[in-house]
Amino acid sequence: MEIKKTPLFKLHTAYGAKFVEFAGYQMPIQYKNGVIQEHNITRTKSGIFDVSHMGQLFIKGKEELINDLEKILPTDLNKLSINQCKYSFLMKYNGGIYDDLIITKIEDGFMIILNAACKENDLKILSSVLENKYILNLREDLSLVAIQGPESKDILEKIIKGISNLKFMNGNKFNYKSTSLYITRSGYTGEDGFEISLPNNIAEEFVKKLIENGSALIGLGARDTLRLEAGLCLYGHDINEDTSPVEANLKWAISKQRLNSKFSGSNEIKKQLENGVDKLRVGIKPENRIIARESTKIFDKNNNEIGKVTSGTFGPSVKGPIAMGYVNNSHAKINNKVFLEVRGKKVPANICDLPFYKKNHVKGEANV
Amino acid sequence: MSNLKFSKEHEWIKLDGDIATIGITKHATEMLGDIVFVELPEKGSSLEKDSTAGVVESTKAASDVYIPVSGEVTENNQGIVDDPAKINADPEGAAWFFKVKIKNKSEIDGLMNKEEYEKFAKESNK
């Protein structure tokens, strides 16, 4: 299969990007500055992320669509007001997660942002659940650009008036010259920021404008350190078809009202909420500088294996190694001491609260 | 620094009498990206040619550091352990990794000179 490129590929190259293949796309892992500087630029100023590889799915419909979507999403979609976004999941029948997503109610239906690696499979799953009653439009003509960090609001406001009035996890239509864009106040870094859905043919021009106004391109390398510091899950690593939202410590994303109704995997979820779970996703902070990467085994003080790391890196803002993973429920207490097996040695670490880095969101309906 | 010799594992080595100073090349640091952790061999440890002598980790991944000649570690650079970013800043100078008393000088002969290494690095980058 040929590797796909986003409409911003030329711009990435011009800014000295190093590329990596991700979900079938040639994506920038870093630019000339390197991961740590790019991370710090996003935390202190403003960074631009090309996330055009992600799926932008539009489904038109009203009441009936809500009922049908609720067969597979554990979110109370009736409660969503127009332009409001929610973090949710495509649920598997066993209580596992096919994908995590952001769903936004728009005038004539819903917009759903899907993970790049999952989007084609998600489309099949949704088509089957929705029984081909609706048109599912996975838009290839749109790019997706995130701008994140404390200065992003002022930078974007210079280009698009009124953007500062958006509340966290809300979106709206805006105009850039004569083109209509859909912008939400959301992100994946733990910082205030926006995600801009725009036609492919203006993506490069628009991003250049953001750069001219003081933002900078940031690669996937820093995107990973930023999201991990913010305690956010990466699909395929921290969550997958065999982890439930309860085990992943994401039960806040399941609407309470929905526990009285059925959705894919709801029986399993209810059971887990009543009886507890065997494993739980936790934050893990190694005591020294050693980084515990994905798949590192976790042991208790008696040398019993109690879990595995699912993401681990060096946190540039935390200035030390950070990780998350699953441990047996009985070990999932804050400050519980565990041992990580790295290159044959057992290194001490502590279970800790997430996020590692306190977020900087603008007040609103903060629930991420 | 034309008296440097280079290994295929992207280490450089500089000989002064029978003491060799070893580090990783600028090319290696460019491939790794920002280095955030380093583990060095202990002073006094005896290492065989081409065995693992330490680890460097960038934000992205961990890589082993190999010793290109056999010898006994006489010194390691604590400065880069405390501040691994120094490795990116001056890999072929201040950010040396460790020094060894070498066993067999002829092992050096099998290594590449600067010109050969640059060609090798360019090829392996493709």
Render pLDDT for A127-154 as a digit per residue (tens, 0 to 9). 999 998 999 999 999 999 999 999 999 9
pLDDT of residue A362: 53
Q: A99 or A364, which is more confident?
A: A99
- What is the percent of chain A where pLDDT is above 70? 97
Contact A206, A199 (CB under 8 A): no
Element (H, E) at B16: strand B11-16
Domain that holds residue B76: 4-124
Mean pLDDT over residues A325-330, rounded?
97
Check B62 against A293: CB less than 8 A apart.
Answer: yes
**How far is A187 from A206, CA to CA, in rounded Å?**
18
Into how many domains does chain B fold?
1
- The letter for the amino acid at A100 is D
Render pLDDT for A181-226 as a digit per residue (tens, 0 to 9). 999 999 999 999 999 999 999 999 999 999 999 999 999 999 999 9
Contact A74, A247 (CB under 8 A): no
Closest Cα of chain A to B123: distance in Å?
Answer: 17
Question: Within its chain, how far is the Cα of A309 from the centroid?
Answer: 18
Which residues of A are less than 8 Å from B57 in CB distance? Answer: 291, 314
Mean pLDDT over residues B113-123, rounded?
94
Q: Is B59 on the interface with A (CB under 8 A)?
A: yes
With bands split at pLDDT 50, 70 and 90, how would you rate the model's confidence at A365? very low
- All domains of chain A, ordered by start, with CATH? 9-52+140-229 (3.30.1360.120), 56-136 (3.30.70.1400), 251-352 (2.40.30.110)
Render pLDDT for A23-38 as a digit per residue (tens, 0 to 9). 999 999 999 999 999 9
Would you say the ipTM is above 0.90? no
Check A314 against B59: CB less than 8 A apart.
Answer: yes
- Quick one: tokens of A30? 């870093």
DSSP string, A16-57: T-EEEEETTEEEEEE-TT-HHHHHHHHHHS-EEEE-TTSEEE
The CATH number assigned to the domain holding B26 equals 2.40.50.100
Element (H, E) at B23: strand B19-24
Check A221 against B61: CB less than 8 A apart.
Answer: no
Give the one of A289, A313, A343 whose C-beta lies nearest to B59's C-beta: A313
Which residues of B are less than 8 Å from A35 in CB distance? Answer: 33-34, 58-60
Element (H, E) at A275: helix A266-275
The CA-based angle A306-A308-A310, given to 5 degrees, is: 150
Render pLDDT for A251-304 as a digit per residue (tens, 0 to 9). 999 999 999 999 999 999 999 999 999 999 999 999 999 999 999 999 999 999
End-to-end CA gap in chain A: 36
pLDDT of residue B2: 53
Which residues of A are less than 8 Å from B34 in CB distance? Answer: 34-37
Closest Cα of chain A to B61: distance in Å?
Answer: 8
Residue A112 pLDDT greater than 70, yes or no: yes
With bands split at pLDDT 50, 70 and 90, how would you rate the model's confidence at A364? very low
Q: For residue B82, what is the nearest residue in chain A, using CA coordinates?
A: A289
Contact A115, A55 (CB under 8 A): yes
Contacts of A103 (CB under 8 A, 6+ apart): A69, A73, A75, A77, A80, A85, A86, A88, A110, A111, A112, A113
- What 8-state DSSP symbol labels residue A367? -
Residue A368 pLDDT greater than 60, yes or no: no
Closest Cα of chain B to A316: distance in Å?
Answer: 9
Residue A313 pLDDT greater than 60, yes or no: yes
A300 C-beta neighbours (distance < 10 Å), count: 17
Residue B1 pLDDT greater than 70, yes or no: no
Give the one of B33, B55, B85 whose C-beta lies nearest to A221's C-beta: B33
